[in-house]
Homo-oligomer: A and B are copies of this chain.
Amino acid sequence: MDSTKRTVFFISDGTGITAEMMGNSLLTQFDNVQFKKVLTPFVKDEARARAAVDEINLAAEKDGHPPIVFSTLVNDSLESIIKKSQGTCFNFFSIFLQPLEQALGVSSSYSVGKYHSGSASDSYLRRIDAINYALDNDDGQNIKNYEEADIILVGVSRSGKTPSSLYLAMQFGIKAANYPITEEDMEDRSLPRALQPYKQKLFGLTIDAERLSAIRNARRANSRYSSIMRCEDEVRNVEVMLRKASVPILDTTDASVEEIATQILLKTGLKRVDL
């Protein structure tokens, strides 16, 4: 028996991504507990539900504690199988659906695995399109396609442009190109010629020079590219250039990709899919 560790199950009839996100966002509130997490997706029939119960009960025995079970099962008979396990069950739908039905004045369809499913919806196709766009227009390639961009991220190398443009595409269906400002671009402190026609679409990312140097060092240790002096120069010059051109700037130093992308939406008012 291990009294310091709790096993957590995420059970879903679909991918389990919602169950996991919901569960993890709650678990971050419990710093002092160690969790062992088990994802159990695609629980679509009784056999799979029973297999999940076996796993839960095994963990209960091993841990000496009832496991925590986060479930997004919609099907009542599957959920009732899970509930008979030794886990403490939190079902997302059974808590929220009924009050939501009441608020909306209509019954829900109780259909299974709808979220994150299928590949034929317009918003899904737009997301895939946007991913391809981000890849084709990464790192200053293909500047002839900027007409099509919803936004063009600019900043020094390793300021977070590429992962942010991919996240904007994947999560929000936004076509984000990105253009790295290089030392040559900085010489006359005005926007690179390729960007000038698209000033309205530009969005700057900046980063603390020390953090930038650390990130670059992980990629190319002890190079001029990663030296603190060069990082300081680049960051300062790019900030001056962008301010002069009235391009909005976001500091990415302590921000995750999710936070950067959300801040960009908020500051630009860009329209996204799925909302």
Q: Is the CB of B26 within 8 A of A100?
A: yes
Chain copies in complex: 2
The segment from A29-37, A182-190, A195-203 that touches chain B is A29-37
Q: Is the CB of B255 within 8 A of A109?
A: no
* With A14-B259, A42-B266: A99-B109 Cβ-Cβ less than 8 Å: no
A115 nearest in chain B by CB position? B25
Q: Is the CB of B17 within 8 A of A106?
A: no
Neighbouring B residues of A66 by C-beta, 8 Å: 103
The segment from A143-151, A160-168, A239-247 that touches chain B is A160-168
A72: Cβ under 8 A from any B Cβ: yes
Alpha-carbon distance A114/B28, docked complex (angstroms): 7
A135: Cβ under 8 A from any B Cβ: yes
Please report which residues of chain A, range 238-264, place their CB below 8 angstroms from some CB of chain B when the two chains form the complex. Answer: 252-259, 261-263
Least CB distance, A167 to chain B, in whole angstroms = 7
A37 nearest in chain B by CB position? B275
Q: Is the CB of B28 within 8 A of A115?
A: yes
Please report which residues of chain A, range 108-133, place their CB below 8 angstroms from some CB of chain B when the two chains form the complex. Answer: 108-111, 114-120, 124, 127-128, 131-132
Least CB distance, A132 to chain B, in whole angstroms = 8
Neighbouring B residues of A135 by C-beta, 8 Å: 135, 138, 162
Q: 1/0 per position for A52-82, CB-CB distance to B under 8 A? A: 0000000000000010100010100000000
A163 nearest in chain B by CB position? B131
Q: Is the CB of A15 within 8 A of B262?
A: yes
Q: Among B104, B106, B116, point to the contact of A259 (Cβ < 8 A).
A: B116
Interface size class of A (residues with CB under 8 A): 35 or more
The segment from A89-97, A220-228, A229-237 that touches chain B is A89-97
Q: Is the CB of A120 within 8 A of B170?
A: no
Least CB distance, A21 to chain B, in whole angstroms = 5
A265: Cβ under 8 A from any B Cβ: yes
Neighbouring B residues of A256 by C-beta, 8 Å: 116-119, 124
Least CB distance, A169 to chain B, in whole angstroms = 9
Alpha-carbon distance A6/B103, docked complex (angstroms): 10
Alpha-carbon distance A171/B257, docked complex (angstroms): 11
Q: Which 7 A-B pairs have the closest CB atoms?
A: A29-B108, A15-B262, A25-B115, A116-B258, A28-B114, A88-B103, A37-B275
Known: A17-B21, A95-B96. 12 other contacts (CB 8 A): A16-B262, A25-B115, A26-B100, A29-B93, A29-B109, A29-B110, A31-B109, A39-B265, A119-B254, A128-B257, A131-B162, A167-B170
